[in-house]
């Protein structure tokens, strides 16, 4: 067995699912009295730090995404919050919630919430949306200014073109009227025509540049079949670096549910990294499929399992398929 | 050969924990000292937390399955030599966990059979109405009931142990340990045990 050489920091990372090799820690947590007690103490302190709003950065992120994934652990957090409110009321006897906790206004302290998940803090979503909106406004502003400049250039080129065309007509009239084979005038006419051709080309180029460019996201798609006992080869999906979205087409073997839910797990730790909202089946030739769209950043270069559950009209949930695949990234 | 294999599998499924087997399990876990079942409860708690950390959907059932198998093996073989009882429990738990994973992947575990729980609302599904005020009052009531059910010494200990933030909390704990004449480690173990009992009391109160 291990020699109890794990620091509180390492134990915290273990509790937050940030340790890849957990065998030794798992063994100690059950088989070693001293370590098990220490683990419990670190976990209690971690939960208390969370309800006091003392966690930040990656630790807070992992607490929200990993630690709170379990109903049992969410109940522990609720109890810790209640314990804090009772044992440490503010002066005057009223409960005071720290800003970090109060910001998570979507916590439900109802009885059913002890068996329910917490909402991701709205603040993170709002900041993300605000950043996206700002980016769109800046990009839109730049495009508008650029468009205006190009339009100005096109107008200027058109005016120049009109002037030169008029001048051409005048010279032709002069030549016709004088019936002269003046070499200089002929040269001038040729020069004018060259310039007209260049300006016409420039006007065409400017018009082409004014066409809206579309920013097409880079999407990679893969089709997956549910894992079968006889399947020996696990499909591999290669995700390019510049991919913006990964779309997985999950083939349905049977069943016709009103909706579906998908859950992405990273192996071998069986760690849940993503869950879907309600999904609908769609036709895929002679069969049906469920389409899942993921961000490449969610998926590491590991083996993954995508568990698909069907939801009937009366809300009953049943597992319908498990899709195993290996991800590679350049 | 095939028949005897089938018979062994059926015998395992049909095995039930008898009073003798239960007593044998407790004695084996206690290793000579009578803990009045505390050792069993502590082992069960550790196993539940182990399965919960592995994100199993039914940690309580898997912990019970583990201890059932340990008890059966003790009843059939008389003893388990080699490692300590806790380590033997871990080895069985690991087997149970891998079997659970295989069952899950081969769709033998229906989500309909699992306890009711909601998925984390990263993408909210459904729109159940929850009575926040009622639930909050019930939780607070259970917390107060369980806290006041503690012995005076334990109540004082836990209310002081978890008081304060960061460095203030650490200083409080040092002073408390000095006052009680015990080490910080021993204080931490005592506080954790009290908190465990508190959490179990609250869970019973909310279920009741």
Among the partner-chain residues B83, B112, B123, the one whose CB lies closest to the CB of A318 is B112
In this prediction, residue A298 carries a pLDDT of 87
Q: Give the distance from CA B168 to its chain's centroid.
A: 31
- Measure the CA–CA gap between B154 and B25, rounded to whole angstroms: 30
With contact defined as beta carbons under 8 Å apart, do A114 and A70 qualify? no
The better pLDDT of the pair B85, B104 is held by B85
Question: Over pLDDT 70: what percentage of chain B?
Answer: 78
| pLDDT at residue A177 in the model | 75
The backbone torsions φ and ψ at residue A275, rounded to the nearest 5 degrees and listed phi first, read -130, 150
Tell me the whole-structure pTM to 2 decimals: 0.51
ipTM, 2 decimals? Answer: 0.80
Specify the CATH class of B132-207 in words.
mainly alpha
Which residues of chain B lie closer than 8 angstroms to A318, CB-CB? 110-112
Strands (E), A233-302: 236-238, 245-252, 259-266, 271-275, 281-284, 287-294
Q: Is A317 part of the contact surface with chain B (CB cutoff 8 Å)?
A: yes
The answer to whether A35 and A28 have CB atoms below 8 angstroms apart is yes
**pLDDT score at B161:** 87
Per-residue confidence band for B116, with pLDDT thresholds at 50, 70 and 90: very low
Nearest CA in chain A to B159: A87
Contact B111 A111 (CB under 8 A): no
Check the CA dihedral A148-A154-A157-A158 and report its sign: negative
Q: Which helix (DSSP H) or strand (DSSP E) does residue A11 occupy?
A: helix A8-15
User: What are the DSSP calls for B6-68, one per residue?
Assistant: HHHHHHHHH----HHHHHHHHHHHHTTS--TTHHHHHHHHHHHHHHHHTT-S-HHHHHHHHHH
CB contact under 8 A, B118 and A117: yes
Question: What integer is the mean pLDDT of B2-14?
Answer: 50
For residue B120, the chain A residue with the least C-alpha distance is: A117
> Which of the pair, A136 or B132, is modelled with greater confidence?
A136
pLDDT of residue A275: 92
- The set of residues, in sequence order, having a beta carbon less than 8 Å from that of B155 and lying 6+ positions away, is B147, B148
Tokens of A166: 């008029």
Angle, CA of A279, A280 and A286, to the nearest 5°: 135
In B, which residues are within 8 Å of A110 by CB distance?
130-136
pLDDT under 50: residue ranges of chain A:
1-2, 91-112, 116-120, 212-214
Confidence bin at B109 (pLDDT 50/70/90): low
Pairing of strands A236-238, A287-294: unpaired
pLDDT score of A191: 86
Q: Which residues of A touch B29 (CB under 8 A)?
A: none
Evaluate if residue B99 carries a pLDDT over 60.
yes
Distance CA A267, CA A22 (A): 13
Instruction: Name which of B70, B91, B111, B145 to mutate to probe chain A: the one with the most chain A Cβ atoms within 10 A of its Cβ.
Output: B111
Strand A317-328 to strand A236-238: parallel, antiparallel, or no bridges (unpaired)?
A: parallel
Cite the DSSP H helix spans in A112-182.
122-178
Q: Are the beta carbons of A78 and A109 closer than 8 angstroms?
A: yes
- pLDDT, position A47: 93
Write the pLDDT tens digit of every residue in A298-309: 899 999 999 999
Residues in chain B closer than 8 A to A36 (CB atoms)? 46
Which residue in chain A has the smallest CA separation from B207? A111
- Distance CA(B34)–CA(B11), nearest Å, equals 32
- pLDDT > 90? residue B13: no
Q: Is A111 on the interface with B (CB under 8 A)?
A: yes
Apex CA B154: angle with CA B150 and CA B160, to 5°? 120
Q: Tens digits of per-residue pLDDT, B136-164?
A: 778 888 888 898 888 888 888 888 888 77
Residue B185 has pLDDT above 80, yes or no: yes
Answer positive or negative: Cα dihedral of A220, A226, A227, A232: negative
Quote the CA–CA distance of A275 and A291 in Å, as a whole number. Answer: 13
Contact (CB<8Å) B55/A270: yes
Is A96 within 8 Å of chain B by CB? Answer: no
User: How many residue pairs from chains A and B have C-beta atoms closer than 8 A?
Assistant: 176
Which residue from B46, B110, B162 is facing A48, i.e. has the nearest CB? B162
Give the model's confidence band at B111: pLDDT under 50 very low, under 70 low, under 90 confident, else very high: low
Do residue A27 and residue B130 have CB atoms under 8 angstroms apart? no
Nearest alpha carbon to residue B54 among A13, A270, A73: A270
Query: Domain residues of chain B, as ranges?
Result: 15-112, 132-207
- What pLDDT is stored for residue A219 in this prediction? 86
Judged by CB atoms closer than 8 Å, whether chains meet at B47 and A69 is answered as no
3-state helix, strand, coil in chain A (%, to 5): 50, 20, 30
pLDDT score, position A232: 57
> Angle at which helices B38-53 and B85-105 pack, to 10 degrees?
40
Q: Which residues contact B159 (CB under 8 A, 6 or more apart)?
A: A87
């Amino acid at each position: 067995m291990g020699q109890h050489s794990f620091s509180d920091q390492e134990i915290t990372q273990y509790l937050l699912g940030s340790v890849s090799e957990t065998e030794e820690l798992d063994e100690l947590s059950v088989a070693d009295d001293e370590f098990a007690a220490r683990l419990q103490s670190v976990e209690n302190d971690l939960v208390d730090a969370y309800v006091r709003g003392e966690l930040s950065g990656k630790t807070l992120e992992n607490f929200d995404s990993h630690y709170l994934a379990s109903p049992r652990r969410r109940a522990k957090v609720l109890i810790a919050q209640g314990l804090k409110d009772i044992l440490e009321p503010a002066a005057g006897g009223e409960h005071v919630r720290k800003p970090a906790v109060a910001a998570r206004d979507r916590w439900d302290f109802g009885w059913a919430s002890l068996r329910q998940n917490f909402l991701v803090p709205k603040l993170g979503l709002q900041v993300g949306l605000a950043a996206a909106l700002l980016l769109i406004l800046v990009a839109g502003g730049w495009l508008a200014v650029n468009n205006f400049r190009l339009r100005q250039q096109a107008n200027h080129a058109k005016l120049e073109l009109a002037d030169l065309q008029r001048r051409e007509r005048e010279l032709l009239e002069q030549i016709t009227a004088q019936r002269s084979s003046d070499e200089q005038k002929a040269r001038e006419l040729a020069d004018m025509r060259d310039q007209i051709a260049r300006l016409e080309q420039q006007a065409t180029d400017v018009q082409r540049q004014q066409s809206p460019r579309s920013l097409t996201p880079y999407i990679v798609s893969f089709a997956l079949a549910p894992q079968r006992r006889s399947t020996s080869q696990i499909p591999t999906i290669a995700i390019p670096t510049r991919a913006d979205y990964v779309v997985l087409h999950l083939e349905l073997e049977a069943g016709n549910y009103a909706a579906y839910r998908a859950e992405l797990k990273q192996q071998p730790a069986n760690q849940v990294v993503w869950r879907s909202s309600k999904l609908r089946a769609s036709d895929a030739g002679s069969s049906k499929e469920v389409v899942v769209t993921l961000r490449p950043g969610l998926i590491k270069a590991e083996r993954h399992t995508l568990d698909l559950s069907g939801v009937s009209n009366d809300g009953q949930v049943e597992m319908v398929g498990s899709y195993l695949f290996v991800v590679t990234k350049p | 050969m095939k028949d005897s294999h089938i018979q062994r599998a059926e015998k395992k499924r049909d095995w039930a924990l008898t009073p003798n087997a239960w007593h044998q399990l407790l004695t084996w876990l206690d290793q000579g000292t009578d803990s009045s079942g505390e050792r069993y409860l502590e082992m069960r708690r550790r196993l539940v937390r182990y399965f919960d950390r592995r994100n199993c959907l039914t940690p309580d059932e898997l912990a019970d399955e583990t201890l059932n198998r340990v008890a059966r093996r003790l009843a059939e073989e008389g003893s388990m030599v080699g490692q300590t009882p806790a380590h033997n429990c871990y080895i069985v738990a690991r087997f149970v966990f891998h079997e659970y994973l295989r069952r899950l992947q081969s769709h033998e575990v229906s989500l309909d059979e699992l306890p009711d729980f909601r998925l984390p609302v990263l993408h909210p599904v459904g729109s159940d109405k929850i009575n926040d005020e009622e639930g909050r009052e019930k939780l607070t009531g259970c917390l107060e009931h369980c806290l006041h059910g503690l012995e005076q010494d334990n109540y004082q200990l836990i209310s002081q142990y978890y008081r304060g933030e960061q460095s203030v909390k650490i200083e409080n704990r040092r002073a408390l340990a000095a006052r009680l004449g015990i080490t910080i480690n021993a204080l931490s173990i005592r506080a954790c045990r009290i908190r465990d009992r508190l959490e179990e009391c609250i869970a019973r109160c909310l279920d009741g």
